[in-house]
Amino acid sequence: MLNRKIVTLALLLTTVLFTGMGFSQIKVEQDTVGNSLLLTREHSFYGMLHSNGWGFGYRRSLNDDFFKKKMFEAEFLEMCSPKQTKSVNPYFSDARPYYYGKLNACYIIRSGIGYQNLMNQKPYWGGIEVRYFYYVGAEVALAKPIYLRIIQDATTGPVVDYTITTERYNPDVHDIENIYGRASFFKGINQIKPYPGLYGKFGFNFEYGKYNTKVVALEAGVVVDYHPKAVPIMAYTKNQNLLTTVYIAFHFGKRYN
């Protein structure tokens, strides 16, 4: 399922990138821009889907001119491993599914600065304004240990018996034979470990809102995350220091002076 999501997002991103490059061939006329009202402040919220999960964020800008916006952003997102696959214990109907081999759930908080550069201005009667953007910033990945419900043999006589305990996943001890299912999400939240890093982002922003005072935009791009110490998401595999994802996001907000 995760692979299908990656393919779908990659195809959509490719389409958007080619569309953006097509718009880049359209010349921006200085006199048209000069007839528009420059709104210097902009705030927006957004939700996003990326090739390894989901996220949401906040962005604001101070606009000195029409052609280039200086942007500040903050994001929170889930970062899954493309190698994780969902498993379920077939012998218990009430067992919750889990990801076999997953050591930690990973969530990333990003904060960065960037610029949006005008490629195609929206005509006064409506349409789409296209900008390309780039961001760089700092981030911290939060690794929350995975806890599972484990089957413990409690047989003391001829009748087979068992108990269920909650334990932190240990790939050397727990396997598909004794894993009942996943435990509560909140289990292990007090054991979160931070992994600082950096990120860079590039893509295209398509503003199609009817009014200049409203932010309504679709965005697509590529993000590269780097952590000097790799976040241990999965067992039985080498976790990467460098993660590359593609994403799409929907923005809504306002502009004013």
What is the per-residue pLDDT across 7-59, written as a single tens digit (0 to 9) for each? 555 555 555 555 544 544 444 444 344 446 778 899 999 999 999 999 999 99
> pTM score, two decimals?
0.84
The residues facing 63 across adjacent strands are 69
% of the chain at pLDDT higher than 90: 66
Q: What is the pLDDT of residue 251?
A: 96
User: What pLDDT score does 213 carry?
Assistant: 87
Average pLDDT, the chain: 87
In the chain, where the domains are located: 2-85+105-141+192-229+236-256
- Residue 169's nearest CA partner among 194, 189, 152, 149 is 149
**Residue 140 in contact with residue 194, Cβ under 8 Å?**
yes
Interval 178-196 mean pLDDT: 96
Q: In this predicted structure, which of 60-74, 104-118, 185-199 has the lowest mean pLDDT?
A: 60-74
What's the rounded Cα separation, in Å, for the pair 8 and 194?
A: 31
Q: DSSP letters of 19-56?
A: HHHHHTTSPPPHHHHHTSPPP-EEEEEEEEEETTEEEE
Q: How is domain 2-85+105-141+192-229+236-256 classified at the architecture level of CATH? A: Beta Barrel (2.40)
Convert the pLDDT of each residue in 68-108 to its tens digit: 999 999 999 999 999 999 999 998 888 999 999 999 999 99
